[in-house]
Amino acid sequence: MVAKYRSISQAAKALYTSQPSVSNWIAKMELDCGVKLFVRTNRGISLTPEGEEIYSRLDVAYQRFRVSVSDICRKAPDPTVCLRVGFLHREEITLVTRRLIGKFLEDNIDVRVETEMYNFHELRDKLMCQELDLAISASYDISAYSYFDYVPVGDMEPYFFLPPSWTDGRAQAHELSFLNGKTLILEAPTHLQTALEICRTAGITPGSIHFANSYLYLTTLVSRGLGFSVDSGMRENTSHQLPIVMVPAGCDGGKIVVAWRRGVLSPLAERFLASISRPAPVFAEEA
């Protein structure tokens, strides 16, 4: 919470506790870890490099803990009246998810839709185990697995993620030849071929490939100047604002897709897919 809000007082409010308690927890953790986790700056409290690395690794465990507790505490929904939809934690996918669900509920007021945001590994596993009816994700992730079917519902705009120290902040995609030979950092191997194709389109040949264990760790490495990345935009829950320059790649970055386990499609999921394929109504004044 302190990393997210850059403030001990705001973190204390979010945790429903006192400011001294939060300060004591931080002091104890710094003592246990043997490193300083935070420093005060003119923008508030910021993570130290050691704090950023610890935070990026712990965030993965925290998000999995949050999802697990939510799953355990939530009663199993009635599959005849509740549609379970998971979606990847990216801003553009979140927006598409909200739009599609809103359109579906306009004509299906008798249905309840439960949504949850996941990282891709959680999303894949839950869809495979039929804990989700549908998943909304990126085509380059889903298409890597033969046991999923999917339909495209939107486009993804790719960006190069660069450390500020490598550019003046005004770089364009055709000006990125200095990335040749640099390390390309990705979150998952399923993104590799798409990322390399985007690099080829921009005339870039990475010197090496490195996989980070989470998106936050990826952005931490990029912000430190240890490499660059290719992705479709900032993710949701990127808590502390890391210094990163985003340059539009100006090419196809894949599709946003609605996926389901092959051969397993519930009646509500079929209704959802039908609402996606149905064209939007044209009103008289528009015509």
CA distances to 76, 128, 200, 220 from 112, rounded to whole Å, are 13, 22, 44, 38
Beta bridge partners, 211, equal 186
The pTM assigned to this predicted structure is 0.63
Please give the Cα distance from 105 to 98 (Å, whole number).
11
Domains of the chain: 2-73 (1.10.10.10), 82-155+255-277 (3.40.190.10), 159-248 (3.40.190.10)
Please write the tens of the pLDDT for every residue from 110-140. Answer: 889 999 888 787 888 889 888 899 999 988 8
For all residues of the chain together, what is the average pLDDT?
83
Q: Quick one: pLDDT at residue 279?
A: 52
Q: Is the pLDDT of residue 161 over 60?
A: yes
Q: How far apart are CA 205 and CA 276, in angstroms?
A: 38
Write the pLDDT tens digit of every residue in 162-200: 998 887 655 665 678 889 999 999 987 878 888 898 898
What is the pLDDT at residue 192? Answer: 87
Tell me what pLDDT residue 107 has.
86
Type of residue found at 260: W
